[in-house]
Amino acid sequence: MLKNITAVLVLALSSTQVFARGVDLRLANETAEIIYLTESSTFGYGGADVGFGVFFNEADDLMLSADVMITGHGAGNNRPLQFGVGGKLMFASLEVPNEEVGALAIGGQVRYVIPSSTPIAFLAAGFFAPSITSFSDADDFTEFRLAVELEVTPSARAYLGWRNMEYELENGTEVELDDDVHFGVKVEF
């Protein structure tokens, strides 16, 4: 199954409509995630943020993901406030219990940038996949994330965040992949 997932990710990365944009690295005490960031001109007026990620933890869980987030400003003159909606496709190999699961989740985010000479932003994001869009032995998937971002340079941000990410399996077992504070660096080129 992981060979098929890798093939899909390679094909998506080689698409002519997607342009290289950067890397997002998130590290915690027991987890790590690296996300290859791209931008697609095929969505909406300003495009969409597209990411292809690999997540792993000390419990030997491995998750591959692809997500799309379309962001913009709300109505009115409040330009520091940004909203986003999108989706995330995930395939995971869980060590305990020995299961392969997946989900197609919908989600959103809210980001508020405090305008200053060194911009600081507050981010809240979440994804949810009900049982109808969860497959293999997964019954549902949830992910919630909070972060405080500091713009180091116009093309690099450092952030401190917290994330809770878990699958509920068909037998009622909850498998928590992440519930920890993480440090991250997002570099765009």
- Fold designation for 2-188: Porin (2.40.160)
Query: Please, which pLDDT band fits residue 96 given cuts at 50, 70 and 90?
Result: confident
**Greatest distance between any 2 Cα atoms in the chain:** 52
- The string of pLDDT tens digits covering residues 13-65 is 444 344 568 999 999 999 999 999 997 655 555 568 899 999 999 999 999 99
The answer to whether the CB of 39 falls within 8 A of the CB of 50 is yes
**Single-letter amino acid code for the residue at 79:** R
- The string of pLDDT tens digits covering residues 73-89 is 766 666 788 899 999 99
**Tokens 């405090």 appear where?**
114
- Domain spans, the chain: 2-188
